[in-house]
């Protein structure tokens, strides 16, 4: 285990999110660049989640929606709706402008909005590919049941089950809910880095390290499994990925390999080459 720490509280528009990556002296856990957790009870009529149009280039922004309802729009004329349990796996590639907001009918009644946004880096060869969306509905995500654990496999192959998300590099994404009093080992590819973010509950790792809700545990190619014990009913997201081992240059919503490419991304966005989206 490289690190176990409480996620930072950072501002995002008029709200705050828990930031599990980057954290402390870890800028990224290759290939994972950023992990934000938004969890808030929204009053009827709002305000709710409302992220204004913004660009992305060079990576994959992924939204795991656990509770709530989101309306998505982008500069290529795409529009989508996510509901609790759904996942949106977006490949920004050469660039796109998009916005996300709570669905208006849902906002009228309010409720819990609970989601994670994850950024996964793209390899150099894929940074300028055409943008792509995978809208993954909850009922298409396979479930693994074992030893007090109910796990949804979103991406990659885990415990012999393959998730529906198509990834550009080897990545595993598993949402787990574990009952108090159970202990088990989560399999991890030995070539992968791993991140476990605990949304709620209390876990013990390897019989000694403990973490509560809002904590992140980071493992850098630490073996073929992670041992966990649920000291409370717990809800977590397990991410593992093969590192790209490529240089990373980033600025805001752009992640490339060189500073020159970042300057090109800024210029292309300013010139409208990523499209336009009215708010």
Give me the DSSP letters along the chain: --EEEEPEEEEETTEEEEEEESBTTBS-BTTEEEEEEEEEEEPTT----EEEEEEEBSEEEEEEEEESEEEEEETTS-EEEEETT-EEEEE-TT-EEEEEEE-HHHHHH-EEEEEEEEEEEPPGGGTTSPPEEEEE-GGGS-EEEETTEEEEEEESEETTEE-SB--SS-EEEEEEEE-TT-EEEEE--TT-EEEEEEEESEEEETTTEEEETTEEEEEES--SEEEEEESS-EEEEEEEE-------EEETTEEESSHHHHHHHHHHHHTTTT-----
Choosing among 2.60.120.10, 3.20.20.70, 2.40.50.140, 3.30.559.30, the CATH entry for 3-241 is 2.60.120.10
Q: What is the mean pLDDT of residues 182-190?
A: 96
Measured CA to CA in angstroms, residue 98 lies from 40, 83, 258 at distances of 22, 18, 24
pLDDT higher than 90, residue 77: no
Q: Could you tell me if 250 and 244 are in contact, meaning their C-beta atoms sit under 8 angstroms apart?
A: no
Nearest of 100, 79, 82, 117 to residue 279 by alpha carbon = 100
pLDDT tens digits, residue range 158-170?
A: 999 999 999 999 9
| Residue 13 in this model has a pLDDT that exceeds 90 | no
pLDDT in tens, 88-140: 999 999 999 999 999 999 999 999 999 999 999 999 999 999 999 999 999 99
Q: Who's near 215: CB < 8 A, 6+ residues apart?
A: 4, 5, 6, 7, 197, 198
Mean pLDDT, rounded, of the chain? 95
Structure confidence by residue, pLDDT tens digits, 218-276: 998 778 999 999 999 999 999 999 999 999 999 999 999 999 999 999 999 999 999 99
* The pLDDT value given to residue 12: 82
Binned at pLDDT 50, 70 and 90, residue 87 comes out as very high
Domain ranges of the chain: 3-241
pLDDT of residue 57: 98
Residue 188: its pLDDT value, please? 96
pLDDT of residue 224: 92
**CA dist., res. 83 & res. 103, Å (int):** 9
Contacts of 159-163 spanning 24+ positions with Cβ under 8 A: 159/187
How would residue 46 be classed by pLDDT, with cut points 50, 70 and 90?
confident
Q: Which residue has the higher pLDDT, 241 or 25?
A: 241
The pLDDT, as a whole number, for residue 25 is 84
pLDDT at residue 80 greater than cutoff 80 = yes
Where does the pLDDT of residue 69 fall: very low under 50, low under 70, confident under 90, or very high at 90 and above?
very high
What is the reported pTM? 0.96
**Percent with pLDDT over 90 in the chain:** 87
């Amino acid at each position: 285990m490289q690190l176990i720490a409480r996620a930072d509280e950072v501002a995002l528009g008029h709200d705050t999110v828990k930031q599990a990556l980057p954290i402390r002296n870890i800028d990224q856990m290759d290939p994972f660049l950023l992990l934000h957790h938004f969890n808030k009870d929204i009053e009827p009529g709002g305000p709710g989640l409302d992220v204004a149009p913004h660009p992305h280039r060079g990576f994959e922004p992924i939204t795991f929606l656990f509770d709530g309802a989101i309306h998505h729009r982008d500069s290529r004329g795409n529009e989508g709706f996510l509901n609790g349990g759904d996942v949106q796996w977006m490949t920004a590639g050469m660039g796109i402008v998009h916005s996300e907001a709570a669905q208006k009918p849902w906002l009228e009644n309010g409720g819990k909005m609970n989601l994670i946004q994850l950024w996964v880096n793209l390899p150099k060869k894929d940074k300028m590919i055409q943008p792509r969306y995978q809208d993954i509905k909850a009922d298409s995500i396979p479930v693994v049941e074992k030893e007090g654990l109910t796990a949804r496999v979103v991406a990659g192959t885990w415990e012999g089950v393959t998730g529906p998300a198509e990834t550009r590099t080897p990545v595993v994404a598993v949402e787990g809910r574990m009952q108090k009093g159970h202990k088990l080992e989560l399999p991890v590819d030995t070539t992968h880095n791993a991140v476990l973010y605990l949304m709620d509950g209390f876990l013990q790792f390897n019989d000694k390290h403990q973490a509560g809700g809002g904590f992140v545990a980071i493992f850098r190619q630490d073996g073929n499994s992670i041992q966990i014990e649920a000291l409370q009913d717990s809800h977590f997201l397990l991410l593992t990925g093969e590192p790209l081992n490529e240089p990373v240059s980033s600025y805001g919503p752009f992640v490339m390999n060189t500073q020159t490419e970042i300057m090109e991304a800024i210029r292309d966005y300013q010139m409208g080459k990523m499209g336009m989206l009215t708010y």
